[in-house]
Amino acid sequence: MISPADEDLGPADVIIVGAGLAGLSCAFELAERGQAVLLLEAQPWVGGRTASWTESDGMRVESGLHRMLGVYRAFPDLLRRAGIDPDAAIIWEDEVEFRQPVPEPPAVFSVAPLRNPLQMLADIVGHNDYLPATAKLSMSRFVAQGLADYAADPDALDRKSVLEYAVEQNVQSAVISKLLEPLVAGIYFVPAAKLSAKVFMALIAPYLPNAAAMRVGAFAGGMTEVFAAPLAEAVRRRGGRVRTSARVEELLVEGGRAAGVRVAGRELRARHVVLASSIRATQALLAAKFGGEAWVQSLLRLPTMPAVTLQLELEGPSMNVDHTTFGVGTSLACFSEQSRTTFRGLAGRLSIIMAPADELIGLPVDRVLTIALEDADRLGLVVRDRVTRYRMVNHVDDFYSLAPGHDALRPPQITPVPGLTLAGDYTRQEFVATMEGAVVSGQLAARAVLG
């Protein structure tokens, strides 16, 4: 995706900083409407937190384990409009597993109400050895009350953690340990005591109108090759320019207006700048120019949280099937055997979201691998003594904190600075920190640019 020619860095109508899903989405919308777009990405590849690349030893690595949900609308619509067939990009799995340390039984649940309604009903009614009927009823009441409170006063929910809210609603301890804790850790890398109850309900409430379309799918290849790079090419086909390995050093401001950016000491001019970079990078660029101004203080106070992913190539598959699995009570918060989906052709490929990330991110990779292998043994995974290559990918400051009390600090896309707009899942939109949220934030930013 590198565009080496100097003319690629010439003046533009809009400069977009960051080629993750938010930046790609914004760039596509603006290029589609005739804007001269220059999309800048610091990494040698596009995709941001939804990226994949090949290491120097030939190992294919991804930024982290991601899943496509059937309830997403903006994301698959963007792919179609860009000429990317979602059905070719996604391998639908339509089930998730909660795996406990052996010899406790696992539980596999269908999550495709339209395509497999009878199995989904049977899974809900069954698996009583995993969760008894009274516990399931407890969970149902928790979700129903949470959605009602989310509709009535979402900000009140943001003052409580998922754990606090569950205890307040008399949720059974089995539900907390076997459903809530694994889901929270697997999706957001933190324990239920550190996730806002509002954020948890935002995983459900915005998707209710499309709930019947729920599915879970893996990507049929690395995310950069499957959708990020094709989205960048779609921007180019519409007259936009995409430049990778182009780290923005400074936001240019003249007469109180955003006038461009500085890259490798060179000033690039535009009538509008969209900051779609990671939250910490955006905060640094804004603090340097507007750190004393009132409008940016909430954003500068918005903390970040880490994420840790461990990726293993194996001599053979770790599991007989590839589906999203939550490792109950272990550091393997969420994982998948990807040798039949994303990394077909490999003998075995296990991708793991590790938790709690804030305790693991500072450890040496060999220590994290040891922890993962110990918990893999507990879960009955065939991993030990079969690892051929491995990588740990850390995200230190790329995610905004989802702890209680932080949601109100998220900024809108529109800023009071003429010519300056924000994009990213940390900006205000109802789909919070998801791929859908990133796409929607980019679309909202494009609308702001267009006036």
Q: What would the pLDDT profile of 374-388 be if each residue is shown by its tens digit?
A: 999 999 999 999 999
Whether residue 169 lies inside any domain: the answer is yes
With tokens 């109802």, the residue in question is 430
**pLDDT exceeds cutoff 80 at 162:** yes
Co-location of 196 and 258 in the same domain: no
**Percent of the chain at pLDDT exceeding 90:** 92
194, 241: one domain? no
* Domain count of the fold of the chain: 2
Contacts of 95 (CB under 8 A, 6+ apart): 108, 109, 110, 111, 112, 216, 323, 324
286 and 432 fall within a common domain: yes
- From 4-13, 224-233, 410-419, 430-439, the region with the lowest mean pLDDT: 4-13
Assigned domain for 292 exists:
yes
> The pTM is what?
0.95
Is the same domain home to 203 and 225?
Answer: no
Instruction: Calculate the alpha carbon distances from 58 to 75, 228, 390, 391 in Å.
Output: 30, 20, 11, 12
CA 130, 131, 133, 134 dihedral sign is: positive
pLDDT at 124: 85
Cα 431 from Cα 204, distance rounded (Å): 9
Q: Residue 124 domain-assigned? A: yes
pLDDT tier at 373, thresholds 50, 70, 90: very high
- Whether the CB-CB separation of 333 and 355 falls below 8 Å is answered with yes
Q: Using DSSP, state whether 259 is helix, strand or coil.
A: strand
Residue 205 sits in the same domain as residue 233: no
Q: 233 and 187 share a domain? A: no
- Say how far apart CA 327 and CA 270 lie, in whole Å: 48
Range in 27-41, 74-88, 121-135 with the lowest mean pLDDT:
121-135
For 165, the domain range is 110-209
CB neighbour burial string for 87-96, b if at least 16 within 10 angstroms, e if fewer: eebbbebbbb
Q: Tell me, what DSSP letter sits at residue 26?
A: H
Convert the pLDDT of each residue in 183-213 to its tens digit: 999 999 999 999 999 999 999 999 999 999 9
Q: Is residue 364 part of a domain?
A: no
Is residue 430 in a domain?
yes
Residues 172 and 134: their CA atoms lie apart, in Å, by 8
Boundary residue ending a domain (209, 237, 252): 209
Same-domain status, 34 and 116: no
